[in-house]
Amino acid sequence: MRILSFIGIAAILISNTAEAQQVLRLEDAIAGALHKNYDILLARNDSASYALDEQYAFGLFIPRVNFTASKVWNTNAQKQELASGTKRDTTGIRSNNMSAALSASWTLFDGLRMFATREKLTRFRELGELQVKEQMVNTVADVINNYFGIVRQKQQLKAIEEQMSINEERVALAEKKLSTGLGSGPELLQARVDLNAQKASRLQQITLIAQLRDQLNQLIGLPNGEIYDVEDSIPVNTALALGDLSQDVETSNPSLLIAQKNLSIAELTLKERKADLLPVLNFNSAYNFSRTENKAVINNFTPLFNQNRGLNYGLGVTVPILNGFNARRLVKQSQLDIKYQQLFYENQYSRINLAITNAYKDYELQKQLLALEEDNIRLAKENVNIALERFKLGVSTWLELREAQISLELAYNRLIAARYNTKVAETELLRQKGELVK
């Protein structure tokens, strides 16, 4: 399905006139949902978080460098009594100490964990993109069903208004016959009751359309209460084939692709856990500087000024020997998670194939019902026209006309429902295939 730009949709919907409402096309509704639907926006935010993590994956391979510095001022009072009997008592001895250090630590080997983690971050970014696509597909399906739900009720409203016109003519004929003495009061009363019932149904239908419109507004990001009209027809694609829908579903269905990605992530997690069983080799280096200044000392061997600086470097290795078998436990947990993800994928594959098969059966059923009801509505309309003419000529009763009206009403209900259900089945097939959004 084509995804059109959202530009101009607000102008399309706001510029309603007194004569007629602007028509919201399905393409515009889908475009609005893809830009403003809250569920899609939340999924995109999560995907952006994964992409940000991958963007900084290079940090796994570079050294960690830290710089520290401090400056300390001291004011001390010292009192000493030596074994020789000498006494020293000094107050206000001031000194200061300054130190700085630049250190670097570079992991040269960690059991290949860093490579597995980098690839895992890439898989998470791809997972986020698939989750966005899945949400988009589901949202587009909701928009299509809701949009044509409004069209369905609009067609139902049109059918009710057509019945109302027949009942209005019945009331006029009953009044005329009663005034000429050819009719009866109950006939007129029943005609008015049937007309009022149709008026009540019309009010209920208008309210239902408004409610469905508000639901669509929430999906496509429009203000609650926004008024617009929708298209009049429900187009149906009757050429879908089960073989085409089932083919390559594992590479097109977002849910299956997400399950595949989760399996890949679980396998990378196992590589990370296995790295805990291997030694870690680090290169360490530091440059240190310190300086101490004493204004006065009471010990002749204490320097008034002392400064040190130097560079050191070397290699460090950490060999895991025993940590309560925690590393092995985590490895086994990762292996179980891989098995779980594999079973979950197979289950999803089975479920989706079953869903496609059942949806296609429903699709075929609704197509057959649609063809049948299109023929029935022609017959029901013709029957009502004949019954109305016979009633005008006085060769039939209002009961016969009413029975023909009920048959037409039921035929309309079945026809409109068949059109909508066929569209819903078509949408579900494309949703399971993952082809609602390209």
The domains of the chain are located at 9-36+110-278+321-433
**Could you tell me how many helices (H) and strands (E) the chain has, helices first?**
9, 4
**Least confident range of 208-217, 302-311, 331-340:** 302-311
- The pLDDT value given to residue 183: 67
Share of the chain above pLDDT 90, in %: 60
Structure tokens at 164: 């109302």
Structure tokens at 417: 């429902």
Which residues are registered as beta bridge partners of 88?
80
Distance (Å, whole) CA 204 – CA 196: 12
Check residues 398 and 409 and name the one with the higher pLDDT. 409
**Least confident range of 181-190, 317-326, 384-393, 423-432:** 181-190
Per-position DSSP letters for 86-142, written without gaps between them: -EEEEEEEEEEEEEEEEEEEEEEESTTHHHHHHHHHHHHHHHHHHHHHHHHHHHHHH
Over the Cα atoms of the chain, what is R_g?
A: 40
pLDDT in tens, 45-97: 999 999 999 999 999 999 999 999 999 998 877 777 777 777 777 777 788 89
- The pLDDT value given to residue 293: 86
* pLDDT above 60 for 387: yes
Q: How confident is the model at residue 2 (pLDDT cuts 50, 70, 90)?
A: very low
- The pLDDT value given to residue 298: 64
Distance (Å, whole) CA 307 – CA 297: 17
The β-bridge relationship of strands 305-318 and 87-109 is unpaired
The architecture in CATH of the region 9-36+110-278+321-433 reads Up-down Bundle (1.20)
Which sign, positive or negative, has the C-alpha torsion 325, 326, 327, 329?
A: positive
* pLDDT above 70 for 269: yes
At residue 6, what is the residue type? F
Q: What is the length of the chain?
A: 438
Structure tokens at 310: 């130097």
pLDDT in tens, 83-137: 777 777 777 778 889 999 999 999 999 999 999 999 999 999 999 999 999 999 9
Q: What is the mean pLDDT of residues 296-314?
A: 82
Q: What is the mean pLDDT of the chain?
A: 87
Check residues 56 and 390 and name the one with the higher pLDDT. 56
Distance (Å, whole) CA 344 – CA 347: 5
- The pLDDT value given to residue 10: 40
- The pLDDT value given to residue 16: 40
Q: What is the mean pLDDT of residues 383-408?
A: 82
**Least confident range of 106-120, 296-310, 363-377:** 296-310
Q: How confident is the model at residue 409 (pLDDT cuts 50, 70, 90)?
A: confident
What 68-77 contacts at long range (C-beta under 8 Å, 24+ apart), as own/partner pairs, is 68/100, 68/101, 68/103, 69/98, 69/99, 69/100, 69/101, 70/97, 70/98, 70/99, 70/100, 71/96, 71/97, 71/98, 72/96, 72/97, 72/98
Q: Which of 391, 16, 408, 10 is nearest to 182 (CA)?
A: 391
Instruction: Name, in order, each residue with C-beta under 8 angstroms of 239's C-beta and a sequence gap of 6 or more.
Output: none
CB-count exposure of residue 6 (10 Å: 0-12, 13-18, 19+):
middle
DSSP 83: T
Q: What is the mean pLDDT of residues 396-413?
A: 83
Q: What is the mean pLDDT of residues 273-277?
A: 94
Q: Are 46 and 131 in contact (CB under 8 A)?
A: yes
- Measuring CA to CA, how many Å separate 70 from each of 96, 99, 101, 182, 286? 11, 5, 9, 114, 16
Q: What is the mean pLDDT of residues 286-307?
A: 82
The β-bridge relationship of strands 64-81 and 87-109 is antiparallel
- The pLDDT value given to residue 49: 93
Q: Which residue has the tokens 């590393």?
A: 327
Q: How confident is the model at residue 11 (pLDDT cuts 50, 70, 90)?
A: very low
Q: Are 245 and 166 in contact (CB under 8 A)?
A: no
Q: Are 285 and 101 in contact (CB under 8 A)?
A: no
- The pLDDT value given to residue 18: 33
H/E stretch holding 52: helix 38-55
Phi–psi pair at 262, nearest 5 degrees: -65, -35
pLDDT in tens, 331-363: 999 999 999 999 999 999 999 999 999 999 999
